[in-house]
Amino acid sequence: MTGNSVPSKVDLVLFSKQGRQIRASMPVADMPRLTGLLADASGTAELDLQFGLDSGRRAVVHGSIRATVMVTCQRCLEPMALALEPQINVAMVGREDEADSLPEELDPLLCPSGEVVVGEFVQDELILALPVIPRHENDVSCVPLTGDSPGGDGVAPEEVKDNPFAVLSTLRERGGDQGSNQES
């Protein structure tokens, strides 16, 4: 199945037995859980998924998903384009305990009904491909946000000199004069 349309649901066993393929595009804006983690909902995910059976006669999916998404750099807090390309190597399992018997190169795809919602599957794979802390790599224009930068708290690090616990040391130096007032 090549073209521009993505089926909403796929019977993994049927698609795998028939050796079908999905090559299609899917708007990032149609993935609400993913867009909630992004700077904006622009972009398109390109799917290239091949269905088949492995040597153990399990329904498997191999391929890739490619998307460029806009995230917020956590160093400079500016938007940045991030290319995602998760490699897909999954086998359908009906129960969680079946995942233990899969070869190491296959990830389990829990499908008790044998069907998978393609949009949810693609969205999950792209979310898993996101870095925990996105930031510009090797970009000299990416400067960490400081206190006196726009959006900072207005206090430059060198201006913070007072120790909030300094008052405790002055009380200790007085020798407990304050404590004698409590006895009366």
Write out pLDDT tens, residues 83-94: 999 999 999 998
Write out pLDDT tens, residues 97-125: 989 989 999 999 999 998 999 999 999 99
- Report the predicted TM-score, pTM, of the whole model to 2 decimal places: 0.74
Domain boundaries, given as residue ranges, for the chain: 9-129
pLDDT at 148: 56
* Number of Cβ within a 10 Å radius of residue 178: 9
Write out pLDDT tens, residues 128-154: 999 999 998 877 778 886 655 554 444
Closest CA to 94 of 12, 21, 18: 12
pLDDT at 155: 47
Lowest mean pLDDT among 42-51, 75-84, 106-115, 163-172: 163-172
Closest CA to 51 of 85, 84, 17, 87: 17
Closest CA to 18 of 59, 62, 77, 64: 59
- The b/e string for 25-49 (b: 16+ C-beta within 10 A; e otherwise) is ebebeebeebbeebbebebebebeb
